Chain A
Amino acid sequence: MKNVVLTFIIVCVLSNAIAGSVVGQTELIGDGNDGNRSRPVHRFELFDENGVQIRANGKDSKPFSIEKTCGQCHDYQKIEQGWHFNGHNPQVKSGRSGQPWVLTDSRTRTQIPVTARNWAGTYTPEELGISPWEFLKTFYSHFPGGSYGQMSADNPDEAIRQEISGKYEINCLACHHSSPHEDQSMAALQAARQNYRWIPTASSGKAVVEGVALSLDDFFDPEFDKGIEVSYNKDVFDADDKVFFDITLGTNDRCYFCHSNHNLDVSEDRVWTQDEDVHLNSGLNCIDCHRNGDDHMITRGVETEGPGKSLTCEGCHLGDHTEMPELGRLGSPKPLHRGIPTIHFEKLTCTACHSGTWPQQTSSRWQTARIHKTGLHGKHDLKITQPHVYAPVLMKGTDDKIGPYKMFWPAYWGLAMGEKIVPIPPKQVLEKAGSVLDADVDKIDDWRPLTMEKIQKVLLLLGQEDSRPVYIAGGKIYQLGAEGKITSGSHVAAQPYAWPLAHDVRPAEQSLGVHLCKDCHTTDSPFFFGNVEIDTPVRTEAGAQFVEMVELQGVDRLYMRLFNASFVFRPILKIVAFASCCLIGLVVLAYILRAVAAISNACAEGSKKDV
C-alpha cells in the first residue's frame, strides 16, 4: 500500500512538471516574431464569451469576445500586463508622471487627479472610494478595456449590474483595427450605456447593437432575455464563417482618439489652421517611437524607462560616437544648435524649446481627449470644460530640468491627518454638507463660486474628532483656525498637478532660440515671466490670481530678471571684446613684424661685416 501511494505521488509530481513545462513553452501563433516584416492577414472565426463560434446564419447572435477571439492566437494574459491595461496595478513601475483621470464634481467644487499609479499628487480610486464598477461609469469614454473593466464587483448591487453589462475586456480593435469603420465614439456610447460586453462588436463596424443595459432592470438575464440585440452585417463573414479585420500595429488615427489635445485659444472654426506634430507631418507614425513587444509595455520616450535613450529625442537626433552607434536612428536630422551654450542641454528638456505651442504671456487653457471626453460625436458630445488644464507651463520636473507641462489645480475637501491630506469623496461631502453646497448657483468661469463663509460652514459640517477638515483649491489649503475662522496657507497637497507635454513637436524654425537669446532672455519673456492662472472656485476681492513660471521653475526671480536684463548689454560686450582683440592682435602683429625686421637688419649687418 505504501508503495502504491509513493508511486502515485511521484507520478503526480512528474506529470505536473511535464505539463508545466509544456505550458511554459507553448506559444500561440500570434506571439513571437519570426522576423518576416510583412503584415499577417487577420481572417478568423469570431467567438462569444462562452467560446461558441458566431456564424453568419446563427440565431440570437452574441457579441464577440476579444479574449476568446483574439486570444486564439495571442496571449491575452500577457497583453493584460501592458501599459494601457495595468493602470490599476500599483505594483507596476509607475515611471514619469503622466496624465491622470480627473474626478470632477461641480457641486462639491472638486477636481482631483486619480490613478493607481504612484504619481505624486494623485489619489487612487480606492482612496476616493471609487469601486472598479464606478471607475468604469465615470471614466468610460476613453477607456481601453481590461484593468478595472475586468474586475469582479464586490458590491452585490454592482455585481448584478455587471452580470447584465458584462466585463469590459481589452478592446484590441481600438488600437489595432485600422478599418475606417472602427468607431471609438460608438465604443464610448456603448460604454455610456453600460453595454460593456458589446463594445468591441458595436465599435468594429461588423455589427449593429441595439439596446441599453443601463435601462434594463436588475432581473434581466443576458443568457435568455432579449434586451440588447446584435445584428452582424452578413457580408463580413466569408464562406468559412471567418471575418477579415484590417489589423495593423496601430495608426495615428487610433492613437488620436485618446491622445488628442485642443488649445482653447484656437476657436473651433480655426482648428483647421493648426499643424500636427512635425514628426507626423514628416511621415512618421506614433508607433515609430512608441513601440512595444508582445507584452504591450509601450515605450513612453523617457530615457529612464524601457530601452533607455534609444527611443527618445536623443535616440534619433543625436549620435553616440561609439563603435557600433545605437543612436541617430530613423535618418533623423542632427540639430546643430548653433550659438546655444551647452548649459541649456543640462537645464532644459528637448521639449522645452521644441514642443507645445510657443509660450504666451498667459498660458492657454487646453482640453485633452481623456479628461474632457473629446471626440464623442452626436448626442453624447459632452462639452466638458473642467478641469481647466493649462499649457504650456514651463516648470521644473523631477528630472531637475525645465520643460513644458500641462497642469491643473486640484480642488477637493479632505481631512488633515498630520501632514497628510486624505480626500473626502464628493458623495460623502454631499451627504454631510449638501445643504450648504447648493447646486443652483450660477457658474462663473465654469466654477460654482465659493465664499469664505460657505467654506467655513462646510468645514464645520465635515469636522471629525480625530482629524481636521480642510479644503484644497487654487494652491491653498483652507482650514478652521482659532474661533472657527477660516485661515489659508500653502501645502504640498495643494500644488498643481502637472505632467510633461511632449507633443506636438514644432519644426526647428518655430522652436525657441530661432531668434537667438531674445526668445527667452528678456525681462518680460513668457518663458520665465509668463503667467499661469491660479484656478479656484474661491472668490476673493483680489480677483484672478496668477503665478509666474519662474516660481514653478525653482529659479530666483530677481536673479532671472537681472540675468535677462544683462542681455541688453550683450552687443556692447561683443563689440568691446572684438575691438579689444583686434587692437591687441594688431599691436602684437606690429611688434612681431618689428622683431622680424630687427632680426633681418642684424643679419644684414652681420653679413656686411663678414664681407
Chain B
Amino acid sequence: MFRWFSIIGFASVLIGIVLHHLLFPCGNEPRFSIKPRINKKVHLLAMLFPEKKLRLHVKIHKLVFLLGLLSFSVLVMTGFVPLVFGYKLHGYLLMIHATFAPVFIGCSAIIVLFGAGEYAFNKKDAEAIPPGFRCSGEGCWVTDTGIGAKVGFWLLAAMALPVTLTMVLSMLPLFGTEGQEFLYDAHRWSALGFGLLAIIELYMLIRMGIRKDLNNG
C-alpha cells in the first residue's frame, strides 16, 4: 500500500507543479518561447551558488541550504526509488541513506534556526491574502506572495521531528518489536509527507526567487 501511495503521491505533486506553472507562469515572458526557458534554467543553476557580495552568515546559510538540498535529494532517491521498483531499502543504498540522514537533519536544524525570523508570519501576510482566498489572473497568491513558502517552512520544520525521531529512537533499546514496527511505519509515512511537502516548498522558493530577480530587473 505504501508503495502505491508513494508513487501516486510523487506523481500527483509533480503533475500539480507542472499544471500550476502552466496556469500561473513566472514573469511576463511568453510561456512557450525557447529563450526565456533557457534563461530560467541558467538562472536556477546560478541560484545554487552563493554570490560573492553576500555576508558570511548568509553565505553559510546558503551553503547549508545547498548541502541540505543535496542530502534531501539523496535521501529521496535512496529511500523511495527502490520502493517504487518493489525493493526494500538495504545494502549499499541503506548505508548511503544512513550516511546522509544526519547531514540532512543537521542542515535542517541550521536552516530552521537561520530562517525562522525570515519566515515568521506578519501583518503583511494577512494583508496579502485576497478576499475569498481567490487567485486573480495575475498570479497565484499562495505561491507568489510568500505565504505558501512560509506555511511550508513551518510545516517542514514540524515534520522533520517525527521523521528524525522515529529512526533515532528505533536505534535505542527502548522499543520492542511492535514498537519498532510502529516506528518504521511512522518513519516511512512521515518521510513521504515530508518529501512531498519539501518538493512543493522548493517549487515555491524557486518561483519566488525568479519573480524577485525579474522584479529587480
Cβ of A576 within 8 Å of any chain B Cβ, yes or no, is yes
In this complex, how many residues of chain A approach chain B with their Cβ under 8 Å: the count is 35
B75-110 residues at the A interface, CB under 8 angstroms: 90-92, 95, 98-99, 101-102, 105-106, 108-109
Cβ of A591 within 8 Å of any chain B Cβ, yes or no, is yes
CA distance A341 to B108 in the complex (A): 26
**Inter-chain contact A338/B175, CB cutoff 8 Å:** yes
**Inter-chain contact A340/B177, CB cutoff 8 Å:** yes
CA distance A563 to B171 in the complex (A): 15
**Inter-chain contact A587/B176, CB cutoff 8 Å:** no
Cβ of B164 within 8 Å of any chain A Cβ, yes or no, is yes
Cβ contacts under 8 Å, A579 to chain B: 109
Contact stretch, chosen from A124-132, A238-246, A390-398, A567-575? A567-575
**Inter-chain contact A574/B174, CB cutoff 8 Å:** no
Q: How far is the CB of A570 from chain B (nearest CB, A)?
A: 7
**Inter-chain contact B95/A562, CB cutoff 8 Å:** yes
**Inter-chain contact B101/A580, CB cutoff 8 Å:** no
Contact residue among A337, A580, A595 (Cβ-Cβ distance under 8 Å from B106): A580
Q: With A337-B177, A339-B174, A577-B102 in contact, is A583–B121 under 8 Å at CB?
A: no
Q: With A563-B95, A566-B98, A591-B154 in contact, is A584–B171 under 8 Å at CB?
A: no
Q: With A337-B177, A574-B171, A577-B105 in contact, is A591–B99 under 8 Å at CB?
A: no
- 0/1 string, B166-186, CB within 8 A of A gives 1: 011011111111011100100
- 0/1 string, B107-118, CB within 8 A of A gives 1: 011001100100
Q: With A336-B176, A339-B173, A574-B171 in contact, is A595–B105 under 8 Å at CB?
A: no
Cβ contacts under 8 Å, B106 to chain A: 576, 580
Cβ of B160 within 8 Å of any chain A Cβ, yes or no, is yes
Cβ of A578 within 8 Å of any chain B Cβ, yes or no, is yes
Contact residue among B102, B168, B170 (Cβ-Cβ distance under 8 Å from A341): B170
Cβ contacts under 8 Å, B171 to chain A: 339, 570, 573-574
Q: How far is the CB of A127 from chain B (nearest CB, A)?
A: 41
**Inter-chain contact B102/A583, CB cutoff 8 Å:** no
Q: Considering residues A335, A570, A588, which has the most beta carbons from chain B within 10 angstroms of its beta carbon?
A: A588
Q: How far is the CB of B124 from chain A (nearest CB, A)?
A: 13
Contact residue among B91, B172, B173, B177 (Cβ-Cβ distance under 8 Å from A559): B91
Cβ of B157 within 8 Å of any chain A Cβ, yes or no, is yes
Cβ contacts under 8 Å, B108 to chain A: 580, 584
Cβ contacts under 8 Å, A572 to chain B: 102
Q: How far is the CB of B144 from chain A (nearest CB, A)?
A: 23
**Chain A at the B interface: SS class:** helix
Cβ contacts under 8 Å, A516 to chain B: 173
Cβ contacts under 8 Å, A580 to chain B: 105-106, 108-109, 160, 164
**Inter-chain contact A581/B180, CB cutoff 8 Å:** no
Cβ of A594 within 8 Å of any chain B Cβ, yes or no, is yes
**Inter-chain contact A588/B112, CB cutoff 8 Å:** yes
Contact residue among B105, B157, B161, B179 (Cβ-Cβ distance under 8 Å from A576): B105
Cβ of A345 within 8 Å of any chain B Cβ, yes or no, is yes
CA distance A558 to B113 in the complex (A): 39
Cβ contacts under 8 Å, B154 to chain A: 588, 591
**Inter-chain contact B105/A581, CB cutoff 8 Å:** yes
Cβ of A342 within 8 Å of any chain B Cβ, yes or no, is yes
Cβ of A585 within 8 Å of any chain B Cβ, yes or no, is yes
Cβ contacts under 8 Å, B109 to chain A: 579-581, 583-584
Cβ of B129 within 8 Å of any chain A Cβ, yes or no, is no
Contact residue among A336, A578, A588 (Cβ-Cβ distance under 8 Å from B158): A588
Given A576-B102, A576-B105, A583-B109, 20 more A-B residue pairs with CB atoms under 8 Å apart are: A337-B180, A338-B175, A338-B176, A339-B171, A339-B173, A339-B175, A341-B170, A341-B184, A342-B177, A556-B91, A563-B95, A566-B99, A577-B102, A577-B167, A580-B160, A580-B164, A581-B165, A584-B109, A591-B120, A595-B121
Q: Identify 19 residue pairs between A and B in the complex whose beta-carbon atoms are under 8 Å apart, listed by A's number.
A: A338-B173, A339-B170, A343-B90, A345-B177, A516-B173, A559-B91, A559-B92, A562-B95, A566-B99, A573-B102, A574-B172, A576-B106, A577-B167, A578-B168, A580-B108, A581-B105, A581-B161, A581-B165, A587-B113
Those 7 A-B pairs whose CB atoms lie nearest each other, nearest first: A339-B173, A580-B109, A336-B176, A583-B109, A577-B168, A576-B102, A338-B173
